Structure formats: C-alpha cells, structure tokens
Amino acid sequence: MQELVTDGWKPDSSLALPLHIQISNYIQAKIRSGAWPAGMRLAAQRDLARQLGVNRSTLVSALGQLTALGLIEGRRGGGTRVALSNDAHSNRAGNWNDYVEEGIHYPNLPTIQAINRLEFTKGLIRLGTGELSPELLPNETMKSILADLSRQSLPLSYEEPLGSLQLRTAISKELSNIGIHAAPSSILILSGALQGLQLIGQGLLPRGSTLLLEKPSYLYSIHSFQSVGVKLYGLPMDSEGLMTQGIEAEVHRTKASLLYTIPTYHNPTGILMTEERRHLLMNTTRALGLPILEDGAYQDLWLDNPPPPSLKAMDREGRVLHLGTLSKTVSPGLRIGWAVGPEPVIRRLADIKMQSDYGSSSLSQLLAAKWLEEGYHARHCEVLRMELRRRRDAVLDMLSTHFGHLASWNRPTGGFYIWLSLNKPLPLTKLFKAALEVGLLLNTGDLYNRSDARHLRLSYAYASLTELEIGIKRLAELVSSF
C-alpha cells in the first residue's frame, strides 16, 4: 500500500528554515509519534515531491537526513520505508503493516480508492460522479427545516432497532404513492442504500452462495458481497433491461440464492426495464422461487415519464426486498436510505445493523422525516427533474458534437448516466491515468464489468455544464489520441 501525505501539509517557503529541514522535521514527528509505524512504505519520491510541492532534489536531501538518523531505510525491490528498527520503534513493535493486508473484507478496487480520494481534489472535472452537483441540493429548504427543528425537542438518544418510527411512517406513505404498500414494521432505516447491501451480504446469504445480477452493474464496483464469499454471476442486458432467458439455467447451475437488479435507470447503463420485461422477470423468478433484491436508488429521477411499477409494487409474496435512498435526490451527506421487505428479513437486518452501528443518525432521520412529511420532497423532485432534463439534453448535444465518430451512447429517460460505448477497445487503466493528467476524473467501464474495455460512465448530474463542455471535448481529444 503506497502511503500518501494526506493531511495536505506543505513546507512553507516564507520561513527561514530550509525546506528540506522542514520536511525532515515533519516526517520525524510522524515517525516518532507512531503515526507512521515501523515498516510503513513511503510513496514514490516523484509522488511525495509533488504532494509536498517541492523539487525532487529537496525531497532527496530530506530523505537523506532521515536515513542518516536511522528513521527510514531502502526496501529490497525499491522504494523507502520507515525503518523496522530505529530509536523510535522497537523492532518487535506490533507490525500493523501486516494487518492492513489482512481481514476478510476486500479493499476497494485501486481505481475506486483513487476516485474516492481524488473527488476531494480541487480543479478536477468529474465526468462520471454519481451524485448531484452541490448546486442542485436543497440547501435553503434544509436550512429552514433546521431552523424549525431548533425550536423543538431533539432526538438525542438511540432510536429503536428499525429506526425512527416517524421516518418509517413518512417513508411508508411516500412508497404508497408508487404502489408499494408497506407498514412501518416492514421498513428498516439504513445509513444509505449501500449499507443495505452490506447487511444483506453479512446477514442473509451463506458463504459460497451465488447472486445473479446484470452485467455491467454498479455492484461489481463494490465488495459488499464478494467480501463475505458470495459469488457474482452476471446476466446480459438489452435495451429493455435484464434478459430473462438465461435465469433458469443459471439458477440450476449455480444454485443462485438471490437476484440483484436495478430495473429503473440502471447504474451504469441508464437502461429502464420495460413493464413487459418486469412481468417476465417476476414470473420467471416466481416459478424458480428466487428472491429479488431491487435497488430503487434512481426511482424518483424520471425525466420524460414516470417509470413502470417497481418490482416491489408487483410483489404479493414478500419475495422482493427493495432498497431506496435520499442520497440520489436530496443529500448524500444525510446518509439516509431504507430497505422494505418481509418482516422477518427486516428484523434480521435490523439486528445486524444494531451490531454494526447501533442505528443511523437520529438527527438525519428527523430531518428526513420532516422533508418527506411536509411535502418538500415532491416539490424538490419536480424542480430537479427539470434541471436534470436540461443537463441531459445539453450533454447529449455535446456528445453529438465531439463523439459522433468515436462512440455511441443511449438517451437516458431518467437517472444520471450515459453509457458511452467507444468504437474501439482501449486500455482503460491507462486512459484513466492519462485523463487525470489533463484534469479529468473518469468512471471507466471496467469498474462495472472487469473485462470491459470500451465503456465510460458519464454523469450529467455532477459537473457544471461549462465543465462538462470542456471535459467532454478534452476527453474526445484524449480518446482520439489513443
């Protein structure tokens, strides 16, 4: 694991103390305090110099001093690490460096780790980010709700295992508008829908079981299921959604125990599953007794027409577990999502949630309840749809201008994403790095299907239209040059 200097410290050239001494002092303090433990690898000199904003030669003289002090040492195979035995650390000190590569949970994909970190780097144009631009978030409304809350008694204690009853009641009412009839006792509040995947992976599926899903899928970019030993088996899609023909054979072959789908504005392809396909999927899986996990994150974000009924709305057997969230429409920072399903399943997930984090923020839950109860959500979604429609249309125009000869793409009818299909395969990791060099942060197709080499997930939700125009043009130049 390459370690970066993450706290943004840089030496100060206005000080009398030479830069290399400042750097040496800084690193000494890190090592002597134990923040950088024995054996920790340092980043490559080039990367370190860039992060510290100094010449390579300045860095080299700082590292020379640290080596002379016995605090760092060269590694076999190149690179530098904190010395295993030095006056600050006994060489028998617990070696955390081994531990960070242990543990059953897989690390994020390197590209995802880079994206998570780089999203907080200023100046990059984020062409694939799956969240709303800050300017599209309802800051003023939230401030006025907070002002209201500051005049009432606050829920500062723990909430019950399923989450705040007030919020579950509000969600129950909201869901009934889209045909899902679920009592508050069938709803579990989550810290975002992602937590639902984590809890289901840990709480419902035996190690070694198989999960069917669309390919590509957002689920391939995270490890909620693989980390607990669940195998993923991807099924093809067409323009009407997940293709159902292969399901029966795969269920028999793999003994699959669950099917995960994003029927509405699929991530990353933007595809909307047609009503006919939904019926077919429900019938096929009913005959097989196959439970479904429906990810409804983009449900409210229709742009042209409301989507067909959700799978949960078509379910009378308690066979569908449905995930929803406020992250894609209102505020990712609130961390409020929900799972809707049969009561025994909801109860089991709630028990594991209690063991994971003892419930979600009561303040976020209260704010979310007010947001839904007082009708802000419906009004906000209307405005949001208008804005996203404008952005989608503009980006489709930009693509016609710059990518007409390089790629093809879908016209999404909701959600955030355009799935750009390049005319020829490209080395996507190289493209990601090259894009970064010209200030573009990409979500490459291999995140959603390991073997993909010709797709990019574009999002019209995050970057401004000006940024998108610059970014798409620059991206087209880059792709042409490959």
What is the smallest separation between the CB atom of 231 and its own copies, expressed in angstroms?
14
| Cβ 446 to its own copies shortest distance, Å | 18
Q: Cα 92 to the chain's mean position, in Å? A: 38
Cα 329–331–333 angle (5° rounding)?
150
Among the candidate windows 114-122, 262-270, 426-434, 472-480, which touches its own copies by CB under 8 A?
114-122
Give the whole-angstrom CA distance, residue 179 versus residue 265.
18
Residues 6+ apart with CB under 8 A from 230: 201, 205, 207, 208, 209, 210, 211
Q: Of 15, 17, 35, 68, which one interacts with its own copies (CB under 8 A)?
A: 35
Nearer to its own copies, 110 or 427 (CB): 110
CB of 133 to its own copies, least distance (A): 9
Nearer to its own copies, 31 or 418 (CB): 31
What's the burial of 26, exposed, middle or buried (CB within 10 Å: 0-12/13-18/19+)?
Answer: middle
Binding mask 188-227 for its own copies (x = CB under 8 A): ---xx-xx--x--xxxxxxx-x------------xxx--x
CB 231 within 8 A of CB 254: yes
Q: What's the min distance (Å) between Cβ of 150 and its own copies?
A: 4
Per-residue binding letters, 378-407, with its own copies (x by CB under 8 A): ------------------------------
End-to-end C-alpha distance for the chain, whole angstroms: 29
Question: 212 or 431, CB closer to its own copies?
Answer: 212
Residue 89 in contact with its own copies, rule: CB under 8 A:
yes
> For the chain, how long is the longest CA-to-CA vector?
78
* Of 12, 16, 156, 451, the one binding its own copies by CB under 8 A: 156
Return phi, psi of residue 117, to 5°.
-80, -45
On the CB side of 13, CA atoms within 13 Å amount to 5
Task: Give me the residue label for tokens 């961390």.
Answer: 335
332 binds its own copies (CB under 8 A): yes
The whole-angstrom separation of Cα 296 and Cα 324 is: 5
Please give the residues from 158 up to 177 whose contact with its own copies meets the rule CB under 8 A.
158-162
Minimum separation from the CB atom of position 410 to its own copies (A): 26
CB 322 within 8 A of CB 340: yes
- Select the span of 50-58, 183-191, 433-441, 443-451 touching its own copies (CB under 8 A): 183-191
Instruction: Name the β-bridge partners of 302.
Output: 414
Of 53-61, 88-96, 240-248, 465-473, the window that binds its own copies (rule: CB under 8 A) is 88-96
Residue 355 interacts with its own copies (CB under 8 A): yes or no? yes
Q: Could you tell me the two tokens for 368?
A: 């979310």
Are 205 and 213 within 8 A, CB to CB? no
CA nearest neighbour of 419 among 218, 229, 253: 218
Q: Could you tell me which stretch among 47-55, 348-356, 432-440, 441-449 binds its own copies (CB under 8 A)?
A: 348-356
Give the shortest CB-421-to-its own copies separation in angstroms. 28
**Among 45, 61, 97, 410, interactor with its own copies by CB under 8 A:** 97
For its own copies, the closer of residues 210 and 224 by Cβ is 224
Residue 309 is a binding residue for its own copies (CB under 8 A): no
**If binding is defined by CB under 8 A, does position 16 make contact with its own copies?**
no
Residues from 246 through 305 that contact its own copies (CB under 8 A):
257, 285-292
Say if residues 353 and 205 touch (Cβ distance below 8 Å). no
- Token pair 């429906």: residue: 294
